[in-house]
Structure formats: C-alpha cells, structure tokens
Structure 1
Amino acid sequence: MRAMKSRGFSLIELLITVAIVGVLAGVALPLYQDYIARTQVSRAVFELSGLRESVEDSLNSGDIPTSGSDLGFSGSTLFSSSGADGITVEYLSGGQIVLSATLGGSSTLAVKGAVTSLSRSTDGTWSCAIDSSASASWKDSYLPSGCSVK
C-alpha cells in the first residue's frame, strides 16, 4: 500500500489556529497597553527625579530655581509642553519646592493629563504624588512604587 502524502492543512485546522491566535491577541493586547502606560508614568517620575540634585545644588548655592531651564532640564517627549517648559517649578513658603509635569505628548491616552509631581519638604525629604483626576482612564496599577495618588 502506498502512504498518502499530506497536501496541506484542512479548513478546520486553519480555523482552529486563527481562533487560538485571536484569543491570545485579545488577552495580550490590553496587558501590553497597561504595561506601556505603567512604564511611561515610571519614566516621567524618573525624569523628574533626575532634577532633584540640581534643585539641591541651587538651594545650597543660595539660588531659587524657577523654571526647568534653571535646573538644566532640556525636555521630554512624554510631557505636554516641549523643552524646558515641560515642567513647572514652584517655590512654596517655608522652603518647599514642587517639580511637576503633565503627561501628554507621546504618552498613551490612558495616562494623558495625569500630573506627576515631586515635592521637597523643608527638611529636605522628597515625596512623589500623581494627580490622576484629569486622566481619562487612569488605573491605580500605573502608579510607580513610592508614589501616591492625589
């Protein structure tokens, strides 16, 4: 007897494969989008954290920084304003300083509008907070460790 040679895939085999790929994509895509949003928020906090040393240097030399350019900030694609204007520097009474930036630009829609801020208290400790009220679909899982939601 002759063995029959396989001539390809049957229609049922192809339909099962397409269904499996569809289910995997349906599960993986939302997880990937959440991952991207979480990393963008973490990157924004990291970029602001890089300016803490510049703030401390300015204060130690007797200067009060008033803008991102005073701190050597050149800009980020994640923030709604480009260049050094992407962050705001507020000097509050008692020596507190707040660095803040609004996510926009190339940020995903899930985090656009969220305001990331780092606050320096009068004793020199820094804290992180994120105001998610302006973000359309913020999830608490986007919050980096060490930060709180306003």
Structure 2
Amino acid sequence: MQGQYKRRAPHHQGGFTLIELMIVVAIIGILAAIAIPQYQNYVARTQVSRVVSEISALKTAAEERYARGEPTTKASDLGWTQSNLLGKVTDDKGGDVDNPKVNIPASASDGTITATLNGDVSGVINGKTITLTRHSSSDGHWSCAFSGSNEYATAACPGTTTETKS
C-alpha cells in the first residue's frame, strides 16, 4: 500500500496576465488606426464611382434629345430618379437647384450634366462635383471630371485638382 497516497502537484488556474491583455489591446488599436482611414477612403471612392455610373446613364437620353433638337435643363426629362448621394443644392439666392444640374442645348453643341455630392456621402467628398461634358467637336464624345482629389477619382472620371490631405 505504499503507492496508495500520492502527492498531487498544486493546481494553478490558467489565464492571461494583465500585461498580455494590454499587449492584445494595443495591437488591436494599432490595426484599427490603420484600417479605419483606409476603409473610409474605400467608401468615398465607391460613392464617387456610383454617382458617375448613375449620371452616366443620362447620356443616352441626352443624346436622344440632341437628335430631336429638344433642349432641357431638367434631369427628370432625361429619366432621372433621385439618389441618396445627391442631396438638395441651393443657389446663391437660397433657392433650390436641380441635382444633377443639366444643360442640354437644342443644337448639337457642348452640353453638361453636373452632380454635386452632398447627400449621404463621406465627409471628404461632400460638396465635390462630377461633371459630364459633351464635346460636339468630337462627334458627341462625353468626358468626365471630378472636382475633388485624385485619391477619390475613378479611372473613368479623373480628378481635376491635386488637393493635399490635411
């Protein structure tokens, strides 16, 4: 009966130390500091891309109006339905202006469709504009320009300024 009473080693409760938990929290903080601004930039770029796609759909209707010689200054004449990324725009006198703003003359000349980003958009692109311009000198070719930083512009609609981040 000699081996009947064996001594057991004391049982230690496992867990993390305070320093280990602090290191994990610090790592998560560093990753968040990098990831959140990158995600915000991604959201801004996708919002610009979405608005470019939405207003580019109006080019076909604008070309049809050019072909018929029917001028318009209303986006609704081109089949526009409201976008949550394009809020109300006011002019210098405080009156509401269509957004997007359309200028399709009766003759086959240059025309524009300009959208101001001011609805549910990222703060870095709020108030920036996307302008589609029809060039009659090049058989109705349309070009696109974004008034904000090239960082948020798309390949189809390059930025027109080189803003620096503050």
TM-score computed with the length of structure 2 as normaliser? 0.77
8 Å CA contact retained: 1:34, 1:142: yes
- The change in CA–CA distance for 1:50 and 1:6 in structure 2 (over 3 A counts) is farther
Rounded Cα–Cα distance in structure 2 between residues aligned with 1:3 and 1:98: 82
What is the match of residue 128 of structure 1? 144
SS for the counterpart of 1:12 is: helix
Largest Rg, 1 or 2: 2
Deviation of 1:30 after TM superposition, in Å, equals 0.6
Unaligned runs of 5+ in 2: 1-7, 90-96, 161-166
Deviation of 1:7 after TM superposition, in Å, equals 2.9
Amino acid in the other structure paired with 1:13: E
8 Å CA contact retained: 1:76, 1:86: no
Rounded Cα–Cα distance in structure 1 between residues aligned with 2:23 and 2:130: 46
8 Å CA contact retained: 2:131, 2:144: yes
- The change in CA–CA distance for 1:3 and 1:43 in structure 2 (over 3 A counts) is farther
What is the match of residue 72 of structure 1? 79
- Name the Cα RMSD after superposition: 2.1
Deviation of 1:147 after TM superposition, in Å, equals 2.1
Rounded Cα–Cα distance in structure 2 between residues aligned with 1:87 and 1:6: 66
What is the match of residue 87 of structure 1? 100
Deviation of 1:97 after TM superposition, in Å, equals 1.0
Unaligned runs of 5+ in 1: 133-138
Report which of the two has the higher share of helix.
1
Q: Is 1:146 matched with 2:156?
A: yes
8 Å CA contact retained: 1:119, 1:128: yes
What is the match of residue 55 of structure 1? 62
TM-score computed with the length of structure 1 as normaliser? 0.85
Q: Is 1:16 matched with 2:30?
A: no
Amino acid in the other structure paired with 1:148: P
8 Å CA contact retained: 1:41, 1:144: yes
What is the match of residue 135 of structure 1? none
Matched length: 143
